[in-house]
Amino acid sequence: MSAKLNLDKLDLDIIHHMMENAEISYADLGKKLFVSGGTIHVRIKKLQEAKVVKGTKLSADLKLLGYDVIAFIGIYLKESSLYDAVAKELQKIPEIVRLNYTTGNYSMFAEIVCKDISQLRYVLHDQLQKIKGIERTETFISLEESFNRNVKVAS
Amino acid sequence: MSAKLNLDKLDLDIIHHMMENAEISYADLGKKLFVSGGTIHVRIKKLQEAKVVKGTKLSADLKLLGYDVIAFIGIYLKESSLYDAVAKELQKIPEIVRLNYTTGNYSMFAEIVCKDISQLRYVLHDQLQKIKGIERTETFISLEESFNRNVKVAS
DNA sequence: ATTGAAAGAGTCTCAGT
DNA sequence: ACTGAGACTCTTTCAAT
């Protein structure tokens, strides 16, 4: 499936550090990992070419931006063959930020980010229920996010 | 709750662009948004001071790193007062990358990233079931991630 | 608040090891 | 494969508007 990659401890340490903070300079990261800044640069270039790392993303505080509601939605489909068609419709709704096709109770599993409960209600009631193929949905509103972190890729 | 912020369209456009790609230079982003690179710099500094933006993170391809299994776990607690104690235990398991306290069927909702199914089985069976306070769990393994994006903060 | 230019810092290339 | 130094680019500061 996925190409064979030969990543050593240094590669993983670099990824691990920069998944948390990509603003550190190569020189400073090199000091932490006991190599030169040049070596960090060479490794990152290799990782980019191998498509293991794919750029950096700004991390923003959604609450401060006015997005106070995060919810998860379990979706039951009328037939599982409708997955692609429904996924396409869901992608048109900008509040739906993530969609997974899953095993278990639900056919698909979505995450939604809204400004407030009334916007959530609008998306759930007026947008989702109009999509052909969706049988019904179950919503789990997040009251608190305990943590949200990256998997620990390095020892 | 959250401090009053006065963000204009330019602020939101900057955040929107850089949530997707934080590597663009201020000069280039300025060209896109029809202001100078200096203005981009001033705005980003303001957004950092307001804690609206909190650094950048490297985006890595988990599949290429050998993490082939993403799953969601609905957790039933014996009593909802046990939430904090259980959250603390779950945080010790590095494969659990996210935990939310939710309304609805489940008391809490977790996301887990594993190398393979046998590692998932190990965490679910040997680690989760040993935590006092967890009544039972339901697991939804992601067979495919249709999309995973940021909420659209700008028009 | 925005701008442009100068100073400072970081990235990238490359020749040497 | 790693390093260090030079060339280059980007960020940061600041005086002017």
Are A77 and A30 members of one domain?
Answer: no
Domain range for residue A33? 2-49
Quick one: A15 and A73 in the same domain?
no
Cβ <8 Å between A58 and B3: no
Q: What is the pLDDT of residues B45-81, one digit of tens each?
A: 999 999 999 999 999 999 999 999 999 999 999 998 9
3-state secondary structure of B41: helix
pLDDT of residue A155: 85
Q: In whole angstroms, what is the distance from residue A23 CA to residue B60 CA?
A: 15
Distance of CA A93 to the CA centre of its chain: 16
Q: Is B133 found in the same domain as B75?
A: yes
% of residues, chain A, pLDDT over 70: 97
Residue of B4, B103, B141, B146 for testing the chain A interface, max A β-carbons within 10 Å: B146
Of B97, B102, B142, Cβ closest to residue A140: B102
Q: How far apart are CA A145 and CA A53, in angstroms?
A: 27
- Tell me how far apart the alpha carbons of residues A29 and A43 are, in angstroms, rounded to a whole number: 12
Q: How confident is the model at residue B11 (pLDDT cuts 50, 70, 90)?
A: very high
Taking 70 as the threshold, does the pLDDT of residue A2 lie above it? no
Inform me whether the pLDDT recorded for A149 exceeds 90: yes
pTM of the model: 0.95
- How many domains does chain A fold into? 2
Residue B13 phi, psi dihedral angles, 5° rounding? -65, -40
Domain assignment present for residue A18? The answer is yes
B149 falls within a domain:
no
Residue B2 has pLDDT above 60, yes or no: no
Q: Is the pLDDT of residue A71 over 70?
A: yes
Question: Does B62 fall in a domain?
Answer: no
Q: Are A80 and A103 in contact (CB under 8 A)?
A: no
At residue B3, the pLDDT reads: 55
Residue A27's pLDDT band (boundaries 50, 70, 90)? very high
Q: What is chain A's mean pLDDT, rounded? A: 96
Q: What is the DSSP letter of A153?
A: -
**Segment A27-53 mean pLDDT:** 97
pLDDT of residue B124: 98
Q: A11 to chain B, minimum CA–CA distance in Å?
A: 11
In a domain, A125, yes or no: yes
Q: Name the residue in chain B with its Cα closest to that of A8.
A: B65
Pick from B60, B100, B149: which is nearest to A142 by CB? B100
Q: Which tops the pLDDT comparison, B1 or B95?
A: B95
A115-121 mean pLDDT: 98
CATH number of the domain encompassing residue B84: 3.30.70.920
**pLDDT for residue B4 is more than 80:** no
pLDDT at A5 over 90: no
Residues B45 and B75 in one domain: no
- Residue A55 maps to a domain: no
Q: Is residue A24 part of a domain?
A: yes
- Average pLDDT over chain B, rounded to an integer: 96
Q: What is the pLDDT of residues B81-136, one digit of tens each?
A: 999 999 999 999 999 999 999 999 999 999 999 999 999 999 999 999 999 999 99
* Chain B residues inside the 8 Å CB shell of A5: 64
Here the tokens at position B48 are: 């950092």
Please give the structure tokens belonging to residue B97.
Answer: 């990358």
Q: At B6, which CATH number?
A: 1.10.10.10
Distance (Å, rounded) from C-alpha B152 to C-alpha B155?
7
Question: So what's the pLDDT on residue A4?
Answer: 62
Query: Does residue A71 sit in helix, strand or coil?
Result: strand
Q: Is residue B10 a part of any domain in this protein?
A: yes
Domain assignment present for B147:
no
A45 and A73 in a single domain? The answer is no
**Mean pLDDT in residue range A125-146:** 97
| Residues A91, A129 within the same domain | yes
Could you give the 3-state DSSP secondary structure of residue A17? helix
Mean pLDDT of B28-42: 97
The predicted pLDDT at position A101 comes to 98
